Copies of this chain bind each other. A is one copy, B any other.
C-alpha cells in the first residue's frame, strides 16, 4: 500500500479512537513510525488528510442510498439501508463528533458536506417514495416526506454520539457495543412503523424486535412526578 493511503488509514483510526482534536500530525507520524516531514511530503496540511477521509466516507454512503431499479422495494431493504448506514457511521465516527469544527476550518469540506447532506436527504426521500410505490408506506405529502427524511437523518447521524455521551466510562469500545449501535435501527423503525400499511406492520415489528437492546434509555420510575 502507498504511504499516502497508509496515512489516511492511520489518521482515520486515530481520529476515531481519540477524536480529531486530540490527534496531531506529529501523533500520526509517530504512530506510523515515520517523520513529520515525511507526512507533510504527502499532505500539505492536516485539513487535507481530513478532506481525503471525508471523500472516502462520502463515496461509501453515496453507494448505499440507491433504490433498486430491477425490482420492487421491500421492508428488508429498509433494514439493510439502516444497517449499512450505521456501519458506515461507525467506521467514520470521528466526523460527526466535531463536525462543526471540521466544517469551519475547511471551506471545501463545508460546501461538500452540505451537498452530501442534501443528497442523502434526497436519497432518503426517494426511498420513502419507492416504498409508497410498492405498497409499504401509506402515501404522503411531499412536505411530510421531507420531514421524515430529515428526522431520520437526525436520529441516524446522532445516535452514536448520544450513546457515547450517556456512557459512564470514556472508553468508546465499551460504550458502543455492536448491540447498542443496532438499537439505532430499532429507533428509526419506531418512527417508521405508524406510516406503514396495517398488513406490513406485523412483519416490521417482528424485524424491529431483533434490533432491540435494553439498558440504554432509562427505566423510568414515575415516582418523581411534579
A158 to B150, CA, bound (A): 11
Q: Is A218 an interface residue (CB 8 A)?
A: yes
Number of interface residues of A (CB under 8 A): 63
Q: Is the CB of B67 within 8 A of A226?
A: yes
Q: Is the CB of B97 within 8 A of A164?
A: no
Contact with B along A183-206 (1 / 0, CB 8 A): 000110011001100000000000
Given A100-B97, A187-B147, A190-B144, verify A224-B122 contact (CB < 8 Å). Answer: yes
**Main SS of chain A's interface residues?**
helix
Binds B, one of A5-13, A39-47, A52-60, A165-173: A165-173
Identify 21 residue pairs between A and B in the complex whose beta-carbon atoms are under 8 Å apart, listed by A's number.
Answer: A66-B226, A67-B225, A69-B226, A98-B101, A103-B165, A103-B170, A113-B165, A114-B166, A114-B167, A121-B218, A121-B220, A122-B221, A126-B220, A143-B212, A146-B218, A147-B217, A150-B187, A150-B216, A151-B190, A154-B159, A157-B158
